[in-house]
Amino acid sequence: MTERATTEAGHQGLASRLMDTGALTSDWLPARRTVLRESFVPDVIWPGVGPADGGPVANIDRQTDPEGWFRAVCSDTSLTTQWDDGNHPGPGRGKVPTCSNSQPSMVFSMLAALDVQPDSKVLEVGTGTGWNAALLSERVGSENVTTIEFDPENAATARARLDAAGYNPVAVVGDGSQGWPACAPYDRVLITASLREIPADIIRQTRPGGIIVSPYATAYGGEAVVRLTIEEDGGASGPFVGSSAFMRLRQQRAYRTHVKEYLDGRPWPADGRRTTTSLSPEAVAGWLPMFAIGLQTQGMFPYPEQYDDGSYTLWLRDTEVTSWASVDFVPGAEEFEVYQSGPRELWGELRAAYTWWNGQGRPGFERFGLTVHPDGAPWAWLGSPEHPVPAVG
């Protein structure tokens, strides 16, 4: 098979898989055929690395392994392109992935949720490698697309790729959480980084009836894509449309205090109050239960400390550095040891949140939604805005 035939087969195979799963809709198929993913992927990539992945991951270099590189490009996986904000230039992985060419099924499912029209004015927050900006430019015209990137190096390489592919959107370097008022108002906003809060500036820059599509993560963990419609009063509301796992918007990154700060230098369990629980830490460990717990709790986050024998300690801490809890998981056990310290009983809060979710029939991501009121705090809901998710703690 010739190189060109191999290339076409790889693209057709990926497109067929995306169509079969429903991620790629027929209205986006022409843009996908025209805007080739490999035109927006650098030579060195780390396939399949997400924000929560650990362990060694080998890179693929197009110069030394062109076939492997192309197989990765034609796979439905994310391709990490930068570590540690560009401060890790070596061949291995760094500590934190900070830029990627996103998983194609996620790219096209979010574009489908965006529901662009032929003349939609679109803001993209997070240019990344430039692939999304090119797809949007092909669909609605470069003159209708504004894309903003915080990292100057990523912005420059994306601009070069867009120019080479024949697209000329407004591409700026700046703080994406502030939007880009010079080209506002927008009909559609696509955010390609995970948010803890929907920026008020972006809501204000979107027309009433306009749509914002963004990954939304809770402080506790878990994440899903939300599709918000802007209301006449300046608020926004809409459902979650599926699970996601994006890198956090730089302006909203969380920097956690080490557990030793909670113990005040004393050995564990310090002044922790001992109890036991029949609720296994395994039951609350999945992405969906973490999301449901996070929608109900405030300022609490987990960390699993793994041990060689398969056991682990689930640490819970609050962002105010006042309270902590530890739960020891032992394979095969029916009761688990719990220690809690501080004014908040964090394991009690987690258990209450999990119990509510379980009692509702363990609803999936798509059953939940989010409302952002222009003059108040956002609230999550189940089924409709009239049924808010209860707050715990």
Condensed to tens digits (0 to 9), the pLDDT of residues 74-121 reads 999 999 999 988 887 666 778 888 899 999 999 999 999 999 999 999
**What pTM value is reported for the model?**
0.93
3-21 helix and 66-73 helix, angle to the nearest 10 degrees: 30
Question: In this structure, which amino acid lies at residue 258?
Answer: H
* Token couple for 58: 């080998």
C-alpha distances out from residue 240 to 76, 161, 367, 380, Å: 22, 32, 7, 10
Q: Extract the tokens encoding 132.
A: 């999304």
Instruction: Write out pLDDT tens, residues 295-346.
Output: 999 999 999 999 999 999 999 999 999 999 999 999 999 999 999 999 999 9
- Which of 52-61, 246-255, 322-331 bottoms out in mean pLDDT, i.e. has the lowest? 52-61
- Torsion over CA of 39, 43, 48 and 53, rounded to 10 degrees? -130
Give pLDDT, residue 126: 96
Judged against a pLDDT cut of 50, whether residue 51 lies above it is answered with: no
Q: What percent of the chain has pLDDT over 90?
A: 81
For the chain, percent of residues with pLDDT exceeding 70:
94
Catalytic (active site) residue 194: no
pLDDT digits (tens, 9 = 90+) for 121-146: 999 999 999 999 999 999 999 999 99
pLDDT of residue 2: 44
Pair type for strands 300-306 and 206-217: unpaired
Q: Please give the CATH topology (third level) of the domain spanning 259-359.
A: Double Stranded RNA Binding Domain (3.30.160)
Distance CA 275, CA 268 (A): 15
Give residue-wise pLDDT tens across range 338-389: 999 999 999 999 999 999 999 999 999 999 999 998 876 789 999 999 999 9
Tens-digit pLDDT profile for residues 145-170: 999 999 999 999 999 999 999 999 99
Strands 324-329 and 122-125, by their bridges, are unpaired
pLDDT band at 263 (very low <50, low <70, confident <90, very high): confident
Q: What is the mean pLDDT of residues 43-67?
A: 78
pLDDT of 390 strictly over 60: yes
Residue 249 to residue 95: CA distance in whole angstroms:
17
The domain segmentation of the chain, as residue ranges, is: 104-250, 259-359
A 10 A CB-CB count for 245 gives 18
DSSP bridge partners of 125: 148, 191
Q: Residue 201's pLDDT is what?
A: 95
Band of pLDDT at residue 254, cut at 50, 70 and 90? confident
How much is the pLDDT for 129?
97
Q: Which helix (H) or strand (E) holds 244?
A: none
Sequence-distant (6+) residues with CB within 8 A of 267 are: none
Q: What is the mean pLDDT of the chain?
A: 92
Residue 8's pLDDT is 59
Q: Which residue has the tokens 């190189």?
A: 3
Q: What is the mean pLDDT of residues 173-177?
A: 96
Average pLDDT of span 172-198: 96
pLDDT at res. 292: 98
Q: How confident is the model at residue 228 (pLDDT cuts 50, 70, 90)?
A: very high
Contact 299, 219 (CB under 8 A): yes
pLDDT confidence of residue 12: 84
Out of 26, 78, 100, 102, the active site residue is 102
The mean pLDDT value for 23-29 works out to 94
The pair of three-digit structure tokens given for residue 26, joined into one six-digit string? 């027929």
According to CATH, what is the number of the domain 104-250? 3.40.50.150
- Of the candidates 218, 279, 274, 209, the one whose C-alpha atom is nearest the C-alpha of residue 238 is 209
